[in-house]
Amino acid sequence: MPRYDYQCKLCEQTSTVNHHSDDLPGACPLCNEEGGLVKTLTTFRTNPKSSSVLQTGQLTEEFIKDSREELRQQQEQLQKER
């Protein structure tokens, strides 16, 4: 059975609830507020990239930044030589 994270409108606490995808979550397991649960996004849903992909992206950004700086320096050197 899938697990979903919910935040209660009344007590503002986050809890994990197990239920089928077409079922409603029911009452808050912490304060028993009926119908007050709002589904929240979890890290799994919002960050599908692995840390190795993130690291590769950061390395790529650094390479581009360094390359731009090197090109700028080369352009300045060429302008001085003219």
**For 23-72, how does the pLDDT look when each residue is reduced to its tens digit (9 = 90+)?**
877 888 888 888 888 888 766 555 555 566 667 778 888 889 999 999 99
What integer pLDDT is reported at residue 2 of this predicted model?
75
| 54 and 64 in a common domain | yes
pLDDT above 80: residue 1: no
| 38 and 2 in a common domain | yes
pLDDT above 90: residue 13: no
| 40 and 26 in a common domain | yes
What integer pLDDT is reported at residue 21 of this predicted model?
76
Amino acid at 20: H
Which residues constitute the domain of residue 68? 49-82
CB 14 within 8 A of CB 40: yes
| 32 and 6 in a common domain | yes
State whether the Cα torsion 56-62-65-71 is positive or negative: negative
Q: What distances in angstroms separate CA 64 from CA 54, 61, 67, 73, one per listed residue?
A: 15, 5, 5, 14
What integer pLDDT is reported at residue 39 of this predicted model?
86
What integer pLDDT is reported at residue 71 of this predicted model?
92
